[in-house]
Amino acid sequence: MIWLLLLPFRLLFGVVFGLVALPFVLLLLPFVLLLWLPFAILKFTVKLALGIVLLPILAIIAVLGLLVGGIFVLVPLIPLLIVGFGVWAVWRMMAGSNGLVRT
């Protein structure tokens, strides 16, 4: 809780030192940009190249993962599908014999 009491002083010193450092920052900014900009462009280029190379590979892996996941979801449903097909087949055979059910 002592930091809450010291907060106005921290804010005051931050503003004062920020204003004192502002001219130096403005003077050094072009040099910093001159040294930093080529590395920023290189970083962007490497990220773009890796993205172009890896995006199709990751898309294929995602599709394969979805297919495998879908298979693992559908495999436990196979007995229910067999029972449902049996009920449907019996229904179709019974519907054709007495004419009670129209399809």
For residue 1, what pLDDT is reported? 82
Torsion of CA 85, 90, 95, 98, to 10 degrees: 180
What is the tally of structural domains in the chain?
1
Cα–Cα distance measured from residue 86 to residue 90, given in angstroms and rounded to the nearest whole number: 6
Residue 19 lies in a domain: yes
Is residue 52 a part of any domain in this protein?
yes
Is position 103 within any domain? no
Q: What is the pLDDT of residue 39?
A: 94
Residue 68 lies in a domain: yes
Domain extent, residue 31, equals: 2-98
Give the pLDDT score at 48.
97
Residue 86: half-sphere exposure toward Cβ, Cα within 13 Å: 6
Q: pLDDT (tens digit, 0 to 9) for every residue of the chain, 103 residues total?
A: 888 888 899 999 999 999 999 999 999 999 888 998 999 999 999 999 999 999 999 999 999 999 999 999 889 899 999 999 999 999 888 876 655 555 5
The reply to whether 9 falls in a domain is yes
